[in-house]
Structure 1
Amino acid sequence: MNDFLKDKTVLITGASNGLGAEMARQVAQQGAHTILTARRTEKLADLAADIEMKFDVSSRYFKMDMTDFAEIEQVAEQLGDTKVDVLVNCAGFGIFEEAVTTDFDTVERMFDTNVLGLMRLTQLILPRMIERKSGHIINIASQAGKIATPKSSAYSATKFAVLGYSNALRMEVKPDNINVTTVNPGPIATSFFDIADKSGNYLDNVGFLVLKPEKVAAKIVAIMGKGRREINLPFLMNIISRTYQVMPRVIEFFGKGSFEKK
C-alpha cells in the first residue's frame, strides 16, 4: 500500500486501456480520486463508472487527443482549480518501420502525441503544483529511449526526447518540492503492439522480456509521492542499456540478432 495516495487526485493520460487503465484501477484501490483522459470516451466512461462503484472514490474523464493542443488546453481549463497531486503522462504510440519508409505524417503525429502533447499538458498543470510546492509528474518513456534499435528510429527519438525533457524539468522544479520520475519499460503485453508491430510476431520473439501491465502499474503506483528518479524494467534490459552507455559498439555487435526481431 502507498498511504500517500489516500484522498489524492491522480490525472492519467492514455487511460482507456493497457497500462493507463491498470494504473487508474490501482490508484483508486488505494484511495485516490482519478481524472482519466484518452481519445475514446466510451472506454473511459466504463472505467470511471467501474472505479466509482468498486472503490468509493470519484473518477472524472475527459476526451483528450494529445495531438490536439487546443483540446489539451480546453481540458486544463475545465479542470480549473482542481488539485492534481500526480500527473501521469502515459499516452503514446509507436510503429516498427525503417526510417526511410516511415510515413512522415505518422512521425509528426508520434512526436505530437509522445512529446509535444506531454510537454503542453505538463506546462498547463505545473503552475498550480508550483503554487502549492507539491506534486509528482510521472512520464512514461521506454527502454527505447535508452538504447535505439532498428525499425524504431522515430519512436526511439520521441522517447529520447521525453527523457531529456524530464531530466531538465526535474532540476527546474526540485526547489518547488515537485518530483519528476521517468518510467522506462521494455515491451508490455498491451494493445500498443496492435499498431506498432504489423507482423504480429514481436511479443512472441521476445517472450521472456515481455512485462505484464499489472506488474508495471504496481511499481509505478508504489513510488507515487516519492522522489524516485527512474523505474527501469525489466532487469536484463536495464543492464543492457546501462552497458550500452559505455560500450555501444559491443552491445550493437552482440545484440544485433535480438535488435532485429521486429
Structure 2
Amino acid sequence: MLKDKVVFITGASSGIGLLTAQMLSEKGAVPVLAARSGRKLAEASAGIAGKHGVKTLDVTREDEVKRAVEEVIREYGRIDILLNNAGYGKFEPATDMPSAEFERMMDVNYMGTVRCAKAVLPHMLERRSGQIVNVASMAGKIGTAKSTAYTATKHAVLGFSNALRQELRGTGITVSTVNPGPIDTPFFDIADPSGGYVSNVKWLMMKPEHVARKMVRLMDTRKEELNLPLKAAAAMRLYQLFPRLSDRLTYRMMNKK
C-alpha cells in the first residue's frame, strides 16, 4: 500500500518524474518533488492536488542532497521510498563528444544516484525499512552506437544497484531498478535535438503515462526489476546470453541514432 508513504523523487519537475509524483499523490502517497529549477518545480507543484512537498537541489552537489534529505525527514518524519530519476543524455560518437561531457553525464546520472542513495540509507537502515528505486535504462544492458557516454552511466547505475541490493539483503530495504526503452519525454530535446533518432524509433517509443504507471506499480509491489517495453525485455535477455552474436545480428536494427 502506498497511502501515506513519503516518496522523495529527483528529476521531478517534468516527464516521468512529475507524472509518477502525480499518480502517487492520487493513491494517497506524499511525493516530495526535487529538481534544480525552482520555477519548474513551482509549476509542477501546481498540478498536484494532494499533500506533497518540493525541494530545489542539484544532484551533483552532495551538500544540497544531504540538506534536502535532512529537511524532508525533519518535515515528514521519514522517507519511505527514494526514486532516483534525475538524469540526461546526449547522443554523439565517442570521438566527437568532449571528455568533459562524459564526466558531467557520469556526475549527474551515476554519482547523482549514489549521492542520493547514500544520503537516505542511514535513515532507512535505522528504521529497517525503505525502498530505493533507480531509473537506469535499456541502454544499461544493451550498448548502441553514438550513446557511449550515456550507456556507460546506465551500466554504472545498474552495477551499483545490483551490488547494493546484495549488501542490503535482510535489512528491510528493497533496491529496485527500472530499465525503460525510449520514452516520449523532453529527454530527447537534449539527447536528440535533430529529431532523427525519435523518428527512427517511433514504433518503440512509449508514452510517459504508461511508464509512470508501471513505476508506481513497482513501488507498490516492491518488485526488484522492471524492463520496458516487454518486447525489449525479451531482447535484453537474449543479448545477455549471446552478447557478441547479438551485436552482429542486430547492429543495423539497433543503431538508429
**What TM-score do you get using the length of structure 1 for normalisation?**
0.93
Aligned length: 255
Matches within 5 A, 1:160-171: 160-171=155-166
In structure 2, the residue matched to 1:66 is 59
SS at match of 1:12: strand
Contact 1:90 1:139 in 2 (8 A): yes
In structure 2, the residue matched to 1:25 is 22
The amino acid across from 1:12 in the alignment is I
The amino acid across from 1:50 in the alignment is G
Segments ≥4 residues shifted beyond 3 Å: none
Please list the CA deviations of residues 195-239 of structure 1 after superposition, one character each: whole Å capped at 9, or x if unmatched. 011321212211111011100110110121434121001112111
The range that moved more, 152-161 or 103-112, is 103-112
Please list the CA deviations of residues 231-256 of structure 1 after superposition, one character each: whole Å capped at 9, or x if unmatched. 00111211111111121222212211
In structure 2, the residue matched to 1:84 is 79
Contact 1:99 1:153 in 2 (8 A): yes
In structure 2, the residue matched to 1:10 is 7
The amino acid across from 1:175 in the alignment is G
In structure 1, the residue matched to 2:43 is 46
**Gaps spanning 5+ residues in structure 2: where?**
none
Please list the CA deviations of residues 81-106 of structure 1 after superposition, one character each: whole Å capped at 9, or x if unmatched. 43111100000001101111112221
Shift of 1:49: 3.1
- What's the Cα RMSD here? 1.3
Q: Are 2:172 and 1:174 aligned?
A: no
Shift of 1:131: 1.1
Distance 1:127 1:26 in 2: 28
Shift of 1:80: 4.0
Please list the CA deviations of residues 169-215 of structure 1 after superposition, one character each: whole Å capped at 9, or x if unmatched. 11111211111110000000000001011321212211111011100
The amino acid across from 2:105 in the alignment is M
SS at match of 2:142: coil
The amino acid across from 1:166 in the alignment is S
Task: Report sequence identity in percent.
Answer: 46
The range that moved more, 181-190 or 59-68, is 59-68
